[in-house]
Amino acid sequence: MTLTAPLPPARTAPAVPPKPSKLIPTLTAVVVGAVVLLSAAGLDVTWEDLLTIPGEVWHYGTLMFVDPNWEKLPRALLETWRSISMAWLGAILCVLFSIPLGMLAAHGVGPAWVRIPLRGLFAVIRAVPEVVIALILLTVTGLTPFTGALALGLAGIGTQGKWTYETIESVQEGASDAVRAAGGSTAEVARWALWPAAAPGLMSFALYRFEINIRTSAVLGLIGAGGIGNMLSNYTNFREWDTVGMLLIVVVAATMVMDAISGAIRRRIMEGAGTRDLGRIL
């Protein structure tokens, strides 16, 4: 009598997962498409005029840049310096207020009854453009470059404050625990543990805000806040395109130079002098 091995149990086919539903992505695409179409339909745009834009750009570009008027260059450089000064003063005002307030808005530094209102204030400030803030300040301070600097400083508090508390919260807690274990207060923790670790990043953010202010200061000049933007607006209104071309060249050149200088300083802050020296030795 021969014994046969028992047959292995029959394998059941794996269950096929259900086909994912495409209803939600389809509805989302339909809604987004409808919003785009309604937005385009609500605009008073003659779509045939789009074909003439390249020719118009070439025409006015020729008027501005073929033979720029360099007679106003000294005044343009002076107004550019005023715009840079406006941007720098606005960045300083922004840092003076946003870093202390941003540190209070960070978890582990400020209490909840201080932290939550500050974060709400930063969100409100970020929602208001610099031009709107400048228009409000014009009724109080008048048409002066100080108005532009003040508008840049106030507008930057929202962004710089958010950067500050996010940077503080990303700092490792080892140094904070050590200061607290030594009996340090919250202020001492912020001064001796959080600030040294977050300072390079915050200074880099401050310089980046200065770069943003340089571009925005030209826009604020268009509404009368002074600087190169005010000069650009005046000559554009008078249709002196050769002078407008010269002013645009000065604006672009000055912005690129200041961006390069600020970027080099930011890289130096973030990399540190020791890293560069070590790289040269190696």
The amino acid sitting at 247 is L
Instruction: Read off the pLDDT band of 217 (50, 70, 90).
Output: confident
Six token digits for residue 240: 């002196």
Other residues' Cβ atoms within 10 Å of the Cβ of residue 80 = 24
pLDDT-based confidence at 122, cuts 50/70/90? very high
Domain-located, residue 12: no
Amino acid identity of 50?
Answer: L
- Output phi, psi for 240, to 5 deg: -90, 80
Instruction: Kindly report, residue by residue over 188-213, the tens digit of the pLDDT.
Output: 667 667 777 787 888 888 888 888 88
- The Cα–Cα gap between 157 and 148 comes to 14
Helix-, strand-, coil-residue percentages of the chain, each rounded to 5? 80, 0, 20
Structural domain harbouring 178:
64-281
CATH number of the domain to which 146 belongs: 1.10.3720.10
d(CA 151, CA 142): 12
CB 69 within 8 A of CB 240: yes
Q: pTM of whole model > 0.85? A: no
Backbone φ, ψ for residue 51 (5° rounding): -70, -25
Look at residue 15 in the predicted model and tell me its pLDDT: 65
Q: Is residue 244 part of a domain?
A: yes
Half-sphere exposure of 101 (CA within 13 A, CB side): 21
* Domain presence at residue 106: yes
In a domain, 29, yes or no: no
Q: Give residue 5's pLDDT.
A: 57
Rounded Cα–Cα distance for residues 209 and 217 (Å): 12
pLDDT of residue 10: 57
Q: Is the pLDDT of residue 280 over 50?
A: no
In a domain, 203, yes or no: yes
As given in the structure block, the two tokens for residue 105 are 């808005």
Which pLDDT belongs to residue 200? Answer: 80
Per-residue pLDDT at 273: 45
Cβ atoms within 10 Å of 250's Cβ, excluding its own: 21
Q: Quick check: is 248 in a domain?
A: yes
- Give domain status of residue 126, yes or no: yes
pLDDT for 87-121, tens place per residue? 888 889 888 998 888 888 888 787 888 889 999 99
DSSP 132-194: HHHHHHHHHH-SSHHHHHHHHHHHHHHHHHHHHHHHHHTS-SHHHHHHHHTT--HHHHIIIII
Q: Return the pLDDT at 120.
A: 92
Residue 277: the pLDDT is 45
193-196-200-205 Cα dihedral, nearest 10 degrees: 60
Domain membership of residue 34 (yes or no) is: no
User: Which residue's entry shows tokens 């912020």?
Assistant: 190
Q: What's the total number of domains in the chain?
A: 1
